Structure 1
Amino acid sequence: MEYPEPYDQSLSSRLLLCTACGTQFPATDRQQIKTCHICDDVRQYVPRSGQSFTTLQAICSSSQGHRNQFEVYEAEERLVFVKTVPQVGIGQRCIIVRTPQGNVLWDCITLLDEATIQRIKDMGGLRAIVISHPHFYTTHVQWARAFACPVYVAAEDASWTTMPSAHRKLITETETDIFGTKVIKMGGHFPGSLVLLWQGRLLIADTILTTPSGLGDWSVNALGEDTTHVPPPPDRNTFTFQWSIPNMIPLSADELLRMWTVLQPYTFTSTHGGFMGQDIEDEGVKGRVLRSMQIQCRYMGGENHPLMKVTL
Structure 2
Amino acid sequence: MEGGGAEEALICEICGVQFGPGQNPQVCPICTDERQFLPREGQKWTNLAKLKAHGHFANKWRKHEPGLYSFATEPKVGIGQRAFLIQTSHGNILWDCVSLLDEATVDIINALGGLKAIAISHPHFYATNAVWSATFGNVPVYIHESDKQWVMWEHNNVKYWNGDKLRILEGATLIRLGGHFSGGQILHWTEGASGKGVILTADILQVVMTRTEVSIMRSYPNYIPLSASHARHMACQMEPWEFERVYGSFWDAEIMSDGKSRVEYSLNRYIKWVTNEDLNV
TM-score normalised by length of structure 2: 0.92
Q: Does the CA-based 8 Å contact 1:93-1:108 persist in structure 2?
A: yes
The equivalent residue for 2:193 is: none
Residue 16 (structure 2) aligned to one of 22, 29, 38: 22
127-136 vs 113-122, which deviates more? 113-122
Structure 1 runs not aligned, ≥5 long: 216-237
1:153-302 mapped onto 2 (5 Å cutoff): 153-180=143-170, 181-199=172-190, 200-214=197-211, 238-283=213-258, 285-300=259-274, 302=275
Structure 2 runs not aligned, ≥5 long: 191-196
Letter in 2 for 1:303: N
Report the 3-state secondary structure (helix = DSSP H, G, I; strand = E; otherwise coil) of the residue aligned with 1:124: coil
78-87 vs 274-283, which deviates more? 274-283
> 1:277 deviation in Å?
0.7
The equivalent residue for 1:113 is: 102
Q: Does the CA-based 8 Å contact 1:151-1:167 persist in structure 2?
A: yes
Distance, in Å, in 2 between the alignment partners of 1:69 and 1:214 is 21
Letter in 2 for 1:282: S
Identity percentage of aligned residues? 35
Could you list the structure 1 runs, at least 4 aligned residues long, displaced by more than 4 angstroms after superposition.
none
1:78 lines up with 2:51 in the alignment: no
Q: Does the CA-based 8 Å contact 1:105-1:130 persist in structure 2?
A: yes
Q: Does the CA-based 8 Å contact 1:60-1:66 persist in structure 2?
A: yes
The equivalent residue for 2:133 is: 144
> 1:62 deviation in Å?
4.8
Q: Does the CA-based 8 Å contact 1:27-1:33 persist in structure 2?
A: no
The equivalent residue for 2:194 is: none
Distance, in Å, in 2 between the alignment partners of 1:62 and 1:157 is 35
Letter in 1 for 2:276: E
> 1:7 deviation in Å?
9.8
Report the 3-state secondary structure (helix = DSSP H, G, I; strand = E; otherwise coil) of the residue aligned with 2:218: strand
Distance, in Å, in 1 between the alignment partners of 2:169 and 2:16 is 27
TM-score normalised by length of structure 1: 0.83
Report the 3-state secondary structure (helix = DSSP H, G, I; strand = E; otherwise coil) of the residue aligned with 1:178: strand
After superposition, the Cα gap between the structure-2 partners of 1:299 and 1:123, relative to the gap in structure 1 and judged at 3 Å, is same
Q: Deviation digits for residues 199-225 of structure 1, max 9, x if unmatched?
A: 20011111101111235xxxxxxxxxx
Distance, in Å, in 2 between the alignment partners of 1:291 and 1:310 is 12
Of structures 1 and 2, the larger Rg is shown by 1
Distance, in Å, in 2 between the alignment partners of 1:269 and 1:310 is 22
After superposition, the Cα gap between the structure-2 partners of 1:172 and 1:80, relative to the gap in structure 1 and judged at 3 Å, is same
| Matched residue count | 273
Q: Deviation digits for residues 105-131 of structure 1, max 9, x if unmatched?
A: 100100012222222112111000000
Distance, in Å, in 2 between the alignment partners of 1:66 and 1:265 is 41
Q: Deviation digits for residues 126-182 of structure 1, max 9, x if unmatched?
A: 000000000000111111111121110011001101122111101212111112301
